Structure 1
Amino acid sequence: MNKEKDFPVTRNQTSLSSSETEAILPQELAARLDLYPENKRRPVNKTVFRSEYFQLTYNLKENVLNVSSRGNLVYSAIPYDTARNYIQRAAIQYLLHPEEVRQYIEAHKANLETYLILSIFQTTNKRVNKDSSEIIKAYAAIFEDPLFEIQILGRLLQHDETGALSANLAGKFLFSENMKTGISGYVSEYLKFIVQLTQTLPLKSDGKNIQLVSSNLQGVLPSDKQLSLESDIKLGLNLLPQEVKQTIKQSIAATKQAIPANNKLLLRSEFGKELSKVRKNYVAHSVDPREIEQYFENVLPTENTNLVNVVSDIQTIDGKLAFTNKHFNILAGDISDSRVVNEDIEGLYVIGNHDLVDILPKDQNKKGKEWEKWQPFFKNEWFKALIHNPEDSWYKLPIGNHLYYEYVKNELEKRFPKISVLNNDSLIHNGIRYIGLTIPVVLARRKKAQQKFILKTLDQLLNNEYDVPTVIVSHAPLFNELSMLSPESPAYNKDYVCSQPQLETLFEEYNIIGAIHGHHQIPASAGRYKMTKFAGKELFVVCSIYSKMNTGFELMELLTGEK
């Protein structure tokens, strides 16, 4: 569901009073707080910069800069359109690298043709093929309007990161239908705002995150993917519609013929009742991305050269590992839903909840020799649920060193003979000790028992070797303090905090440098690592979820401190 809400961009663990603001914000930003009268009655969220439709606010409590809609401009008439952040990121990449944007889109031509075929069918109930005049014309239209081309890039970024799209395809991929959605108007106003903002203040943005130029956008995008005062946007700017270009502060003079604009704004004040009626009567018809993935090609490279490669949550359904890496891999669980076998990949593996089902025999009737080894678990309610309805079994799973997990480990090692499956065990690779804990899911209701198990196991595996650099790997995070999950996520549980003082003491005494997890399906664009304070020291937390744009995260820069 699309919600016009703030998106956090730079965080600090410390809450701030208003008297401390100027010590945190540079003078150029702190001085602006007095420009807006509403700041006097706002105890937390202070306006720093605004336009007619967007605003930059500063949260005093959390030390966070936010860009948000001011409420009247509607992002999309399409109900439940979740691509806003992808399209904003695409808008900035179009400004910075228009030629690369065109190349990226053209590389996806076969997939775009599939989307266009489906779009035309959804609109007209007419079946066409990729060589038809309708598809040729619809594909060409992508490159005739820059604001539409930006949207197409955003859709492809979403496709490559989260899977194939299925709902409301016509409004997303057919120019004739897209004109009715209001997204082009949103994009034009967003571009005006974000360029004015970064030209006026010492800020940088990748379209989702915004931060002070002097800070690092941790784990998001390299500097050449971020818009700032130093960015060269002449080429991209000159391709935009004339009226958009002319209203951007400090815009560069146009050198090309003006392109007709398709940027009618969709305002809540004008269309609010109509939008509410459409969304109230809307019946969702989206399909699980994995069900339609077979109709699309993966046009991005599947091999990476990371020396210590972190990946999780591939959940592949075609029986093949979805990426290749010839070095050391850390597989943080949920790698397969199709009994993958790979004799070449090396590294370590921790058990995820999907792995618990994936290793079981295919025959659901529990007959035949394949089931004999699993008979000791037949009487357990959690095991019965695991077989017949896994989604209802996750929070019934046993904690700690249960025999079932050892069985799972043995099966996984048969499939990945060069991989060490760490079921509450450890290994050392190039001087770094990796401890793999079996935490398939977040067990918030049994947090006390879970953390007691974590403490006992870590104490045993650390074995009084205080100086060895150590990374802890688990599928679900250990607790909130060492999790990448945002408190704004529906999956976030505020009670899943570290409540064992002895765990903090253990982290303080030993040379634990970071933690790795998966499980929460955090998109790569949200950042794959963060630095956090815990037990009186700074640790890294990595969550590397697989996508076609993300075949793994290079851990070496964090291990060596060169972040």
Structure 2
Amino acid sequence: MNSQNHPLSINQSSALSVNALPPELAARFDLYPENKRRPINKTLFKNDYFQLTCNMRDQTLNVCSQGDIVYSAIPYDTARNYIQRAAIQYLLHPKAVRQYIESHKNTLEKYLMLSIFQVTGKKVEENSPEVCQAHQAIFDNPLFEIQILGRLLQHDETGPLSANLAGKFLFSENVRTGISEYIGEYLNFVVQLTHSLPIMTDGRNAQLLDNRANQQIDQNIHKVLTYESDIKPGLELLPQEINQSIESAIILANQTMPVRSKPLLRSEFGKELAEVRKNYVAHSVNPGELESYFENVHSTDNTHLINVVSDMHTMEGKLPFTNKNFNILAGDASDSQAADGEIKGIYVIGNHDLVDVLPINRDFEDPQWEKWRPFLHYEWFETLLQNPDDSWPMLPIGHHDFYEIVKEELQQRFPQMQVLNNSSCIHEGVRYIGLTIPVVLVKRKKEQQQFILASLKALLQEDHELPTVIVSHAPLFNELSMLTPKSEAYNKEYHCSEAEIEQLFETYKIIGAIHGHHHIPASSRRYQFVTFAGRKRFVVCSIYSKINTGLELTDLLSSKIINGEQ
């Protein structure tokens, strides 16, 4: 199965591309009294359990629960967005959902074996009656099938799951989690929402329907729910009470939504759930340790004309995908000294590359270490050798002889790529500037931004009209980063404080920025349009996963938003 064109492969941004909501939506603010005391997140539409809100600060729409409904009684269950996406896809493409799940049969059998062991202490084989029965139970209940799809999407995007597998994969255990009831209410809400307002959603992001051209939705419209969507195929497979409730919601759009049944509510079970979470032991295992137990069922071929990907961290000694066109690798491709003589494009240096290029042995008298010996007396280099994670804040900034040698090593491994170490190249009329920013240096921000400024001045030269994209491993600064302020890694102090950088962006046709480093999953969004220095620009962060071997950049380069036509 080629996930690049599969209806379950989603690529959208949730940001609105208009400065204000249409009058028919803005007028809805007066319908909800709570908006008077909410300066930022204002309600546009709601029922007993969910609401559509508009963030007035960054002009984004968000479907969220109102707080009382419990998504999952499983502590620290992180799959909600995946399961919501799965619910939308089940409604739109039930056959494709079934095919996707069936393609993961071996993966599911391993999860079921582990789940049965967690519950019974009994080790069973893949073809045992217990596993066969548990596998069939997935397809006997549509709401459970939706959950399994969500778990597999999470598995393919973030790595193997390990905590509370029984509650996630065994129907007998899952019935106590409240997730099925949550799914029923969620579908009820989004169907009525999309029939009441010009809204579309993929289960993660919500956007204005009339914004589809701006976000390249025309080619992906089959992935999102709108009032035009044909939901009959999935609706007919859902339990009768949910089917009838959703059909009633369509008829009664803009009126009070009928309540199908009572889900798990915090107001009734809050203390019990808190106690479960308090005493919860996850027994979690690092996904990297489990990777070898699961096969990749997705195609590794990628046909994007300009393919953007980062943070593959391959442990196999080779890149985990193939693309014969132009690739932009935003650092950290390998943790196993991978090499590829065929791949073409550009590469920028990431923090893991700094370790990956070093000789494996630690005999500093070995001839392999000759080029690295000048750095042995530096504290940052000594720390890089002993404990790389502690060395990141100490790394030299920008122009340093060390990075030039790293570039030479990477160039040998990827001979048909241009490793851009504070340099540039032109491909099909677009200039790509590759800056060496391996990590985010908040405490040394001033020095780093002075380096960015000096590098851009030198590389932009006098060609003000040449479309330019800046590529770096870590983002340049918050204004051109995909990292959300809600992330623990976000630091508000990492903003652009160098006025001359903004002036450069005003003067030159810098249309976008590409970065990696933060491992932002595709489900969170892979690109967005931002306004910086008075102009709309794109920001891309496309990390590698089994269902994401890169982002097609061509559409963004020709976007009407970027080219000032909208």
Same fold (TM over 0.5): yes
Map of 2:184 onto structure 1: 188
Map of 1:169 onto structure 2: 165
Structure 2 distance, partners of 1:437, 1:150, is 43
The 3 A distance-change label for structure 1 pair 383 and 243 is: same
Map of 2:195 onto structure 1: 199
Map of 1:136 onto structure 2: 132
Q: Is it true that 1:478 corresponds to 2:512 in the alignment?
A: no
Map of 1:118 onto structure 2: 114
Q: Is it true that 1:145 corresponds to 2:141 in the alignment?
A: yes
Shift of 1:452: 0.6
| Paired residues of 2:313 and 2:334 also in contact (CA < 8 A) | yes
Structure 2 distance, partners of 1:562, 1:130, is 52
Shift of 1:219: 7.2
Alignment of 1:334-413 (within 5 A): 334-364=332-362, 366=364, 368-413=366-411
Shift of 1:203: 0.8
| Paired residues of 1:76 and 1:183 also in contact (CA < 8 A) | yes
Q: 455-464 or 58-67: which moved more?
A: 58-67
Per-residue CA shift, 1:125-169, capped at 9, x if unaligned?
A: 211111100111111000000000000000011111111111111
Quick one: which of 206, 209, 213 aligns to 1:210?
206
Map of 1:4 onto structure 2: none
Structure 1 distance, partners of 2:74, 2:284, is 13
Quick one: which of 428, 431, 436 aligns to 2:429?
431
Per-residue CA shift, 1:385-426, capped at 9, x if unaligned?
A: 111111111111000111111111111111111111111111
Shift of 1:447: 0.8
Map of 1:529 onto structure 2: 527
Letter in 2 for 1:139: H
Shift of 1:363: 2.3
Map of 1:333 onto structure 2: 331
Map of 2:557 onto structure 1: 559
Map of 1:94 onto structure 2: 90
Shift of 1:243: 1.1
| Paired residues of 1:58 and 1:64 also in contact (CA < 8 A) | yes
Q: Is it true that 1:83 corresponds to 2:79 in the alignment?
A: yes
Map of 1:49 onto structure 2: 45
Letter in 2 for 1:277: E
Map of 1:547 onto structure 2: 545
| Paired residues of 2:188 and 2:249 also in contact (CA < 8 A) | no
| Paired residues of 2:62 and 2:206 also in contact (CA < 8 A) | yes
Shift of 1:365: 5.7
| Paired residues of 2:195 and 2:250 also in contact (CA < 8 A) | no
When the two chains are superposed, the root-mean-square deviation of aligned CA atoms in Å is: 2.0
The 3 A distance-change label for structure 1 pair 174 and 366 is: farther
Letter in 2 for 1:238: E
| Paired residues of 1:57 and 1:65 also in contact (CA < 8 A) | yes
Shift of 1:31: 3.4
Unaligned runs of 5+ in 1: 1-7, 15-23, 254-261
| Paired residues of 1:13 and 1:62 also in contact (CA < 8 A) | no
* Secondary structure of the structure 1 residue equivalent to 2:493: coil
The 3 A distance-change label for structure 1 pair 44 and 484 is: closer
Letter in 2 for 1:297: E
Structure 1 distance, partners of 2:37, 2:558, is 47
Q: Is it true that 1:511 corresponds to 2:516 in the alignment?
A: no
Structure 2 distance, partners of 1:177, 1:290, is 26
Map of 2:8 onto structure 1: none
* Secondary structure of the structure 2 residue equivalent to 1:427: strand
* Secondary structure of the structure 1 residue equivalent to 2:444: helix
Map of 1:19 onto structure 2: none
Identity among equivalent positions (%) equals 64
The 3 A distance-change label for structure 1 pair 547 and 562 is: farther
Structure 1 distance, partners of 2:118, 2:38, is 47
Shift of 1:503: 1.0
The 3 A distance-change label for structure 1 pair 202 and 334 is: same
Count the aligned residue pairs: 539
* Secondary structure of the structure 2 residue equivalent to 1:398: coil
The 3 A distance-change label for structure 1 pair 377 and 105 is: same
| Paired residues of 1:182 and 1:264 also in contact (CA < 8 A) | no
* Secondary structure of the structure 2 residue equivalent to 1:211: strand
Task: Tell me: higher relative CO, structure 1 or 2? Use CA pairs within 8 A at least 6 residues apart.
Answer: 2
The 3 A distance-change label for structure 1 pair 159 and 470 is: same
Letter in 2 for 1:197: L
Per-residue CA shift, 1:510-539, capped at 9, x if unaligned?
A: 222211111111111222111222222222
Map of 2:311 onto structure 1: 313
The 3 A distance-change label for structure 1 pair 413 and 369 is: same
Shift of 1:27: 4.1
The 3 A distance-change label for structure 1 pair 268 and 332 is: same
Q: 117-126 or 91-100: which moved more?
A: 117-126
* Secondary structure of the structure 2 residue equivalent to 1:473: strand
The 3 A distance-change label for structure 1 pair 366 and 73 is: farther
Q: 362-371 or 109-118: which moved more?
A: 362-371
Q: Is it true that 1:10 corresponds to 2:8 in the alignment?
A: no
Structure 1 distance, partners of 2:558, 2:14, is 26
Unaligned runs of 5+ in 2: 1-12, 252-259, 562-566
Q: Is it true that 1:467 corresponds to 2:472 in the alignment?
A: no
Letter in 2 for 1:423: N
* Secondary structure of the structure 1 residue equivalent to 2:53: strand
The 3 A distance-change label for structure 1 pair 63 and 348 is: closer
Q: 461-470 or 299-308: which moved more?
A: 461-470
The 3 A distance-change label for structure 1 pair 46 and 431 is: closer
The 3 A distance-change label for structure 1 pair 396 and 198 is: same
Quick one: which of 288, 291, 297 aligns to 1:290?
288
The 3 A distance-change label for structure 1 pair 264 and 168 is: farther
